Amino acid sequence: MVQHPGRSTQPDDEDEEPFGGLVRYERHMPIHQVSYYLCGELQAPQYYTELFYTLRTAAETDLVYLHINSPGGDFNTGLQIINNMLASDAHVVTVLEARAYSMAAFIFLSGDELIVHDNCQLMFHTYSSSFAGKGSEQLAEVHALGNWFEKVTTRLCTPFLSAADISHILQGSDLWMDSDEIRRRLERLKPARPAVRKKTAAAKKPAAAKAGSATAAKKG
């Protein structure tokens, strides 16, 4: 058969092999599920090194559950937990089991997936601290801490908290919400969530909630 220039040769029908159907290719990967219970007040960072190590060394197929019932506590400990959560390759699920106040509320909002049980509470408020040294040093420290706290709150809580909410918190107001309000806010954010989650060092945002006694919210 002579092939004309610019024209590809097509095989005759009798030379074609019959279509054998789709072939499934399977890969089995180990999945590790680890649970930690953040109960009571957050203590000094050295008590949480095992959690830090687990988050830092986890694989993409790993699941890490953080069950939260805490009034908050050490701000630096909370930030280190959150930064390790954001840097982890694992899928981190935060479970609100009773209360998450102050720094514990920030930790809850930093999960890749949020689970809210009935009869729970979140509470947000501004930081507490004590200062020492010369007056000028105290003023400088107050200014630096105020700016730092504002940035942390905005990065971790937006858009779950509105700009007005954050402004009221920074002015000294306490913001309380129960399970129904938490779910309402998560559901409100549902349309804005992307379909695929990509982890970055930036603050992650809460996503939509599903109905039920234990509400799950995935963060994209």
Would you state the pLDDT for residue 65?
98
Average pLDDT over residues 139-149: 75
CATH value at residue 187: 3.90.226.10
Residue 11 pLDDT exceeds 80: no
What is the number of structural domains in the chain? 1
Q: Comparing 165 with 5, which gets the higher pLDDT?
A: 165
pLDDT for res 213: 43
* pLDDT bracket for residue 161 (50, 70, 90): very high
Q: pLDDT digit string (tens) for 24-54?
A: 888 887 889 999 999 999 999 999 999 999 9
In terms of residue numbers, what domain contains 67?
31-124+175-218
The proportion of the chain whose per-residue pLDDT surpasses 70, expressed as a percent, equals 75
- 39 in a domain, yes or no? yes
pLDDT of residue 146: 72
In a domain, 109, yes or no: yes
Quote the pLDDT of residue 169. Answer: 95
- What mean pLDDT is predicted for residues 3-14? 56
Question: pLDDT for 68-99, tens place per residue?
Answer: 999 999 999 999 999 999 999 999 999 999 99
User: Is 23 within the bounds of a domain?
Assistant: no
Q: Does any domain span residue 170? A: no
Q: What is the pLDDT of residue 152?
A: 93
Q: Angle of helix 135-157 relative to helix 163-170, nearest 10 degrees?
A: 160
Residue 145 belongs to a domain: no
* Kind of pairing between the strands at 175-178 and 113-117: unpaired
In a domain, 72, yes or no: yes
Asked whether residue 197 is assigned to any structural domain, the reply reads: yes
Pairing of strands 214-218, 113-117: antiparallel
| Residue predicted with more confidence, 190 or 85 | 85
CB distance 206 to 113 below 8 Å: no
Task: Identify whether 155 is part of a domain.
Answer: no
Q: What is the pTM of this model?
A: 0.76
Does 2 have pLDDT greater than 70?
Answer: no
Average pLDDT of the segment spanning 202-214: 41
